[in-house]
Amino acid sequence: MPVAVTGSIATDHLMTFPGRFAEQFVEGQMENVSLSFLVDDLVQHRGGAGANMAYGMALLGLRPVLVGAVGSDFADYEAWLARHGVDTASVHWSQLRHTARFVCTTDSDNNQIASFYSGAMVEAADIELEPVARRVGDLDLVVVGPDDPTAMVRHTEECRERGYPFAADPSQQLAWAGGSMIRALVHGAEVLFTNEYEAALLCQKTGWSPDEVLERVGVWVTTRAADGVLVRRAGEPPLEVIAVPETKPVEPTGGGDALRAGFVAGRVWGLSLERATQLGSAVATEAVEVVGTQEYELEREPFLERFAEAFGRDAADEVAQHLPA
């Protein structure tokens, strides 16, 4: 059952400044800021929401089709994804731009100064889904993740026109998108993914109440960090799933993408909404216990044992029928 994942593909360059940014600014001189911070380290990680979700789905045995735009510097990253089971044949390679890049420096107070270079991502708007479907044999689901805004709108419209079921994951793009664009991205989605803040922002910008959102989507999945996940459907009681307890939380970045990967995989397997959400919660916890959004692994027996501790042996046995060795 082919699942296409559209969204950003990027590399993250993360640095640590041992001091405090606040101590470097001079009162009355903010309009003339010119600073250079001597950092302790530089770590580069593979990232981007689309690639992160595809990686998680591949760990769970799916063969996700990644759809996005990259630069000529993508060769090593592509090899990594292909080695882990991601279909990268529909990725567009730019002849002019580098792969999108996130550069972030964090100080001792966990304040951050960051820049994002969209690069080749702007060319994602040139990608059409129909050739992708023709290559892999129709599409059972298209995840429209955060990407170039024009690309997100185009992919969503094409899904509606061609009848491809789609999941809406506007995520970070909600912060700047207007109400009309958000309404266009959400309407008709089989699944809508947000976190709590994004859920409130979506309602504020669209003018829709939560009930009105539910009239336009099949399932609304809202992540709530340590409070777990809230799943809502029109006319039905809400479903709440706990967050699988962390044993060694390290870095929250990528947890949401991992949860989406687990949820989609569970639904593709034919699991119930509750079980698919539990799977997403478990995968998310694995992701936040390592540094880097694609550095976690899913070792079958330890993963199932942890799943059983959180949700019961019967639930783990059901997941075990689908989890690859």
The catalytic residue positions are 257
Which residues in the chain belong to E strands, given as ranges? Answer: 3-6, 10-16, 41-47, 65-67, 69-70, 92-93, 100-106, 112-117, 141-144, 166-168, 191-195, 219-223, 229-232, 239-241
Bridge-partner residues for 15, per DSSP?
42, 105
Question: Distance of CA 61 to CAs 68, 107, 144, 145, 269, Å?
Answer: 21, 38, 20, 20, 10
Question: Please, what is the Cα angle at 12 between 8 and 14, to 5 degrees?
Answer: 155
Contacts of 310 (CB under 8 A, 6+ apart): 242, 244, 245, 278, 281, 282
For residue 304, give both structure tokens. 């199932």
Cα–Cα dist 243/260, whole Å? 14
**Cβ distance 255 to 295 under 8 Å?**
no
Cα–Cα dist 259/118, whole Å? 24
